[in-house]
A = this chain, B = another copy of it.
Amino acid sequence: MKLVCTKANLLNGVNIVSKAVPNKTTMSILECILIDATNNEIKLTANDNEIGIETIISGTIKEAGKIALDAKILFDIVRKLPDSDVTIECDSSLKTYINCDKAKFTIIGKPADEFSYLPEVERLDSVLVSQFTLKEVIRQTIFSIADNDNNKIMTGELFEINGNSLKVVSLDGHRISIRKIALKDSYSNKKVIVPGKTLNEISKILSGDTDKDVRIFFTGKHIIFEFDKTTVVSRLIEGEYFKIDQMLSSDYETKITVNKRDFLESIDRATLLVKEGDKKPIIINIGNESIELKISSTVGSMNEEIMIKKQGKDLMIGFNPKFLMDALRVIEDESIDIYLVNPKAPCFIKNPEESYIYMVLPVNFTTVS
């Protein structure tokens, strides 16, 4: 195999597919990127059997062939090459020469036939969203997946298509995040659970461009994202997602409207008195025209008043401050509505059209503080 491409193209391609290279594995072939120049295109592939990514880079093939190269070493080398044309050449003994200007690297590759290609998946049923929208919706929900495997389904996100609406849901037992997006077209109904890891990696390689689309294919066991010259194939999480509609309620006893930034900054200030891992709740005392935030710890105490608009009853309620902040940080609205029932019932932060709903369970502060 012998091929020539620019450093910039090569670096971009290696960077994209590296997202599917596992950090730790006992199978060294999984740590490799396959460079395949057998079909008149230069295709880079990485695949850890949960998520696989391939991307095509432009360049010139001088001699067809393929080779698997250690992803980390390849990335480090390419990153530090001068901005010029790079030649990659390998011989039958797997010795691989990477030359760029006067820099000449020699590394040993692995046989391409040890590499496991992406699964062949039928691409019938697809949905179109912009790269920007997909990247945003991941950012706005990914923080409330569960970070341990005790309940596999909680480590993923529900992607549900209903006509021209995409609903994305994540939950971890203490809170639920829901985002609804209007699609340009209508599609047949779909409901899959996408691994959080896949979504994290894909959001790193999406450009965030509003003009560029991602085509998402759904099959029984896989989801495929196609954008630019890149294809990401991921296994789905099997099982039935939680029935979230039963957890949502539109009844409330108290509704407050508050400036989002003031509220977020005030909670942020309060938490600095709390050491990490310390489960101190923040106590919110809702009065007629203002809420009072209070936190006290061994370090000291803070209280702060924020002006609000209120409908309904006064209420005192405690929350894990991190859960409130996670939700507030991804809401763009200047002013937000919070719906509450009583100190033991969940609160809902949502807009009237319900394009976002963040539910957070309260903390029993009478026993904690």
Q: Which residues of A contact B (CB under 8 A)?
A: 73, 76-77, 80-82, 102-108, 265-266, 268-269, 272-273, 299-306
Contacts of A273 in B (CB 8 A): 73, 105
Q: Are B102 and A306 in contact (CB under 8 A)?
A: yes
Complex partner residue of A102 from B73, B103, B304, CB under 8 angstroms: B304
Cβ-defined contact, B269 with A300, below 8 A: no
Known: A80-B265, A268-B80, A269-B80. A73 touches B104 (CB 8 A): no
Q: Contact at B300–A105, with CB atoms within 8 Å?
A: yes
Say whether B103 contacts A300, CB under 8 Å.
Answer: no
Residues of B close to A272: CB separation below 8 A: 73, 76-77, 80
Q: Are A106 and B302 in contact (CB under 8 A)?
A: yes
The answer to whether A299 and B102 have CB atoms under 8 Å apart is no
Q: In the bound complex, how far is the Cα of B78 from the Cα of A122, in angstroms?
A: 58
Instruction: Give every chain B residue within 8 A of A77 (Cβ-Cβ).
Output: 269, 272
Contacts of A106 in B (CB 8 A): 300-302
Q: Are A107 and B269 closer than 8 Å at their CB atoms?
A: no
Inter-chain contacts of A304 with B (CB < 8 A): 102-104
Q: Beyond the given A73-B273, A80-B265, A102-B304, please list 5 additional residue pairs across the A-B interface where CB-CB is below 8 A.
A: A102-B305, A103-B304, A104-B302, A104-B303, A105-B273
Give CA–CA (A82, B265) in the complex, Å: 8
Contacts of A104 in B (CB 8 A): 302-304
Nearest CB in chain B to that of A76: its residue: B272
Known: A80-B269, A80-B272, A82-B265. A103 touches B299 (CB 8 A): no
Query: What is the bound-complex CA distance between A272 and B302, given in angstroms?
Result: 50
Q: How far is the CA of A337 from the CA of B273 in the complex (A)?
A: 56
Closest to A81 in B: B269
- Asked if B269 contacts A302 (CB within 8 A), the reply is no
**Which residues from B are CB-within-8-Å of A303?**
104
A-B contact pairs, 25 of them (CB 8 A): A73-B273, A73-B299, A73-B300, A76-B272, A77-B269, A77-B272, A80-B265, A80-B268, A80-B272, A81-B269, A82-B265, A102-B304, A102-B306, A103-B266, A103-B269, A103-B302, A104-B302, A104-B303, A105-B269, A105-B300, A105-B302, A106-B300, A106-B301, A106-B302, A108-B300
Nearest residue (CB) in B for A75 is: B272
The CA-CA distance from A234 to B102 in the complex, in Å, is 49
Q: Which residue of B lies closest to A298 (CB)?
A: B108
Q: Which residues of B contact A103 (CB under 8 A)?
A: 266, 269, 302, 304
Pairwise interchain contact B73-A105, C-beta atoms closer than 8 A: no
Give the docked Cα–Cα distance between A273 and B272 (Å).
43
What's the minimum C-beta distance from A364 to chain B, rounded to whole angstroms? 24
List B contacts of A305 (CB < 8 A): 102
Which residues of the partner chain B approach A300 to less than 8 Å between Cβ atoms? Answer: 73, 105-108
With both chains docked as a complex, state the minimum distance between the C-beta of A109 and any C-beta of chain B, in angstroms: 10
Give A304's nearest chain B residue, CB to CB.
B103
Which 4 pairs from chain A and chain B are nearest by CB? A107-B300, A76-B272, A103-B304, A102-B305
Which chain B residues border A302 with CB–CB below 8 Å?
103-106
**Closest chain B CB from A287 CB (angstroms):** 13
Determine the distance from Cα of A82 to Cα of B262 in the docked complex, in whole angstroms.
9
Residue of B nearest to A99 (CB): B304
- Report A240 CB to chain B, min CB distance, Å: 43
